[in-house]
């Protein structure tokens, strides 16, 4: 357990003592951060630019908080100016919540800048780092992020079911100073701390999913072996080759280049394409599972993951070759090997 | 997913459509049952005869319910007469919650009788079947249990991390008729149903721990292969041999014979025994992990598990042989092989 905590501190770039894997998936990690830090009546500014910001908003309301939404179009990052305005308009806000890497749209927001603004208004920040951890820079301490949750199954390439969490000392103090108990017994960090805390004695709280924790231990060992910066660079390199190939095939990436997630490439579907049947064909003939659009983007986009162990040159080239075949006739540039050629050129120039 | 649901229906003896593994440990399953069925202000009668009844009580209070405790001494089953009295005194009660097999004390309560009383007072019943599922008879439909949760890691011998749940149609109706949303987004069964429901289309809710679900699938396949009744009989047979051996060594079983859990044998420690050091020796020298006492019973008892795949003659005999050595001098009958001989005789007479 102490090793896993140390490995997570490395991966999240933090020295936070309360850094551990929650015994449930990322959605429970989201809920854990919010229900521990939000008390009934608290004003919480929630940035929404995709499915997961919307989920945070719903959880804040269920926790009895007053959720103030800052909305941005899907596919765009959170606009820091809008957050600033919302905080000026809501001086009683105590928490700001946003998604670092929106898995539903492929957009990366500027977590450092959003946290800076939140702190200038005396708010704690809750950050969804489900898809960012291990794939793009995430600096929990340097950016002063107060409560961060992630998932085991994204760029860590581990089995799903655990949610790495990290709480700053400031956030822990907020939990300790609560006036009413956390509504969830299972997610109450003041209890979980007795189990995952740093004391010699561990107080039983629940039966931990030990096999899953061993899996996470190995995934984090592999990340450390490669090196965190090297993993970030690898995601960037293969993303650039994939993006070059997709664009050479005439497939538009949904997110502007400056805000694209390397690990989640969202492409607009060619008009008239049968979404489900084509993704089925990629799966059946190539073993490639491409994500469909979520929420408002269902039927409009594909989400091509390049995460963790799956982020390799082999997968980039296979994906482009497969798309070349299945989209021939549907996408203007498909059917002539242009995507593969463009990616090869990008690799050569990298 | 449909196969796992069917396997769980077999193991729980139910045709409840809402029968599935929750993506978190048994403690979250407990919370899921209670927060879905309890609305703020509801009166809930909670039977407490060990650690887990106490946990249910705490969760009801966090959910805004009015928890009425029915207390019985640790090591004894829940007294149906006390439940009857509590329900007469609280005619507004809507839910009765109790633990079928108390993992902290080794006592089995009469779930059928407690459910009958609860229904006679128009209450739904929430049943903790964490340790009972697969080890002793559990008849969800025949006993009309409304909300039942279990764990993957007890008599199913699977990795920990999942909580099999089953909700009766009556319980589902109660969830659908709620006036306020369930406080937990992650545990809200009205959302989870869209994912684990019986419709052809599954709505994404959270990323399920698929590897763990495959593990559970295999564990349930093994249970079906043996046969549920055969598994119950096996637990009973090995328990009787172990109990005979323990008693021949002068070790008193904490629970009266009529209410003993075969899968969890709780013995009182000989006076003056060094609890921690002796259990450490069993682990280091024999690879036997014996559970210490929980809560009020810490330092007073050992909890010897005979669950699922670990419930074998080999383990019973090894355990008795090891105890014979490590307790020689501490327990009156230890050191002369009497435990092993008594168990062998019990097997011969079975």
Is B259 in the same domain as B133? no
Domain's final residue, options A225, A255, A273: A225
**Number of other residues whose CB lies within 10 A of the CB of residue A167:** 30
- How many contacts (CB atoms, under 8 Å) link A and B? 111
Query: Among residues B74, B75, B73, B48, which one has the least CA distance to residue B61?
Result: B48
Is B85 in the same domain as B172? yes
Pairing of strands B93-99, B124-128: parallel
Domain's final residue, options B225, B257, B290: B225
Is A218 in the same domain as A260? no
Contact A100, A127 (CB under 8 A): yes
Domain's final residue, options B225, B245, B279: B225
Residue A26 is part of a domain; what is its CATH number?
Answer: 3.40.640.10
Tell me the β-bridge partners of B266: B303
Residue B117 distance to chain A (closest CA, Å)? 28
Is B34 in the same domain as B81? yes
For range A232-239, the mean pLDDT: 98
Query: pLDDT tens track of chain B, all 350 residues?
Result: 999 999 999 999 999 999 999 999 999 999 999 999 999 999 999 999 999 999 999 999 999 999 999 999 999 999 999 999 999 999 999 999 999 999 999 999 999 999 999 999 999 999 999 999 999 999 999 999 999 999 999 999 999 999 999 999 999 999 999 999 999 999 999 999 999 976 667 888 999 999 999 999 999 999 999 999 999 999 999 999 999 999 999 999 999 999 999 999 999 999 999 999 999 999 999 999 999 998 889 999 999 999 999 999 999 999 999 999 999 999 999 999 999 999 999 999 98
Is B236 in the same domain as B136? no
What is the reported pLDDT for B349?
A: 93
Q: Which residues of B touch A183 (CB under 8 A)?
A: 62-63, 183-184
In whole angstroms, what is the distance from residue A109 CA to residue A77 CA?
5
What is the reported pLDDT for A199?
A: 66
Handedness of CA B70, B72, B76, B82 (dihedral sign): negative
Summarised one tens digit per residue, pLDDT across range B163-220 is 999 999 999 999 999 999 999 999 999 999 999 976 667 888 999 999 999 999 999 9
> Is A207 close to B151, i.e. CB distance below 8 A?
yes
In whole angstroms, what is the distance from residue B341 CA to residue B316 CA?
12
Is A155 in the same domain as A264? no
Q: Which residues of B touch A31 (CB under 8 A)?
A: 184-186
Q: Which residues of A touch B157 (CB under 8 A)?
A: none
What is the reported pLDDT for B350?
A: 86
Enumerate residues 228 to 287 of chain B having a beta carbon within 8 A of any beta carbon in chain A.
none
Summarised one tens digit per residue, pLDDT across range A309-340 is 999 999 999 999 999 999 999 999 999 999 99
The SS3 call for residue A144 is coil
Q: How far is CA A28 from CA A158, A238, B186, B263, in A?
A: 17, 31, 6, 31
Name which of B24, B191, B203 to mutate to probe chain A: the one with the most chain A Cβ atoms within 10 A of its Cβ.
B24
- H/E stretch holding B121 reads none
Number of domains in chain B: 2
Residue B38 distance to chain A (closest CA, Å)? 13
Enumerate residues 185 to 224 of chain B having a beta carbon within 8 A of any beta carbon in chain A.
185-186, 204-212, 215
Q: How far is CA A85 from CA A68, A73, A88, A90, A113, in A?
A: 12, 17, 5, 9, 14
Is B48 in the same domain as B182? yes
- Checking if the pLDDT of A232 tops 90, the result is yes
Is B202 in the same domain as B251? no
Is A205 in the same domain as A255? no
Is A255 in the same domain as A149? no
Query: Among residues A4, A5, A21, which one has the least CA distance to residue A192?
Result: A21
In whole angstroms, what is the distance from residue B295 CA to residue B37 CA?
27
Q: Provide the residue range defining the domain that includes A96.
A: 2-225
- On whether any CB of chain A is under 8 Å from the CB of B160, the answer is yes
Name which of A206, A219, A294 to mutate to probe chain B: the one with the most chain B Cβ atoms within 10 A of its Cβ.
A206
Query: And the tokens for A123?
Result: 């708010």
Enumerate residues 56 to 115 of chain A having a beta carbon within 8 A of any beta carbon in chain B.
58-59, 62-63
Summarised one tens digit per residue, pLDDT across range B248-269 is 999 999 999 999 999 999 999 9
Of B151, B183, B215, the CB nearest to A62: B183
What is the reported pLDDT for A201?
A: 79
What is the reported pLDDT for A350?
A: 86
What is the reported pLDDT for B202?
A: 85
Is B219 in the same domain as B275? no
Residue A332 is part of a domain; what is its CATH number?
Answer: 3.90.1150.10
Of A59, A204, A207, the CB nearest to B153: A207
Contact A183, B183 (CB under 8 A): yes
Residue B204 distance to chain A (closest CA, Å)? 9
Is A166 in the same domain as A19? yes
ipTM of the complex: 0.94
């Amino acid at each position: 357990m102490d090793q896993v905590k140390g490995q997570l501190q490395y991966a999240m770039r933090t020295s936070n003592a309360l850094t551990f894997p929650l015994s449930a998936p990322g959605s429970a990690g989201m809920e854990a951060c919010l229900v521990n830090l939000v008390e009934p009546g608290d004003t919480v500014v929630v940035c929404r630019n995709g499915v997961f910001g919307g989920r945070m908003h719903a959880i804040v309301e269920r926790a009895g908080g007053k959720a103030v939404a800052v909305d941005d179009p899907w596919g765009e990052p959170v606009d820091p100016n809008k957050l600033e305005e919302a905080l000026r308009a809501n001086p009683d806000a105590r928490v700001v919540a946003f998604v670092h890497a929106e898995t539903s749209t492929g957009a990366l927001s500027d977590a450092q800048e959003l946290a800076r603004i939140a702190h200038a208004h005396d708010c704690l920040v809750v950050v969804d780092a489900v898809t960012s951890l291990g794939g793009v820079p995430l600096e929990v301490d340097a950016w002063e992020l107060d409560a961060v949750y992630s998932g085991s199954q994204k760029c860590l390439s581990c089995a799903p079911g655990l949610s790495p969490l990290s709480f700053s000392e400031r956030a822990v103090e907020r939990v300790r100073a609560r006036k009413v108990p956390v509504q969830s017994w299972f997610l109450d960090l003041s209890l979980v701390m007795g189990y995952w805390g740093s004391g010699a004695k561990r107080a039983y709280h629940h039966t931990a999913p030990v096999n899953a924790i061993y899996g996470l231990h190995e995934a984090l060992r592999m990340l450390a072996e490669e090196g965190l910066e090297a993993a970030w660079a690898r995601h960037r390199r293969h993303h650039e080759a994939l993006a070059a190939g997709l664009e050479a095939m005439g497939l538009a990436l949904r997110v502007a280049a400056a805000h694209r997630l390397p690990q989640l490439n969202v492409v607009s579907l060619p008009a008239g394409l049968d979404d489900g049947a084509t993704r089925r064909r990629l799966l059946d003939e190539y073993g490639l599972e491409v994500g469909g659009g979520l929420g408002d983007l269902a039927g409009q986009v594909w989400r091509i993951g390049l995460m963790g162990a799956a982020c390799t040159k082999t997968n980039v080239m296979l994906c482009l070759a497969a798309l070349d075949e299945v989209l021939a006739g549907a996408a203007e540039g498909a059917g002539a090997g242009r995507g593969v050629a463009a990616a090869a050129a990008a690799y050569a120039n990298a």
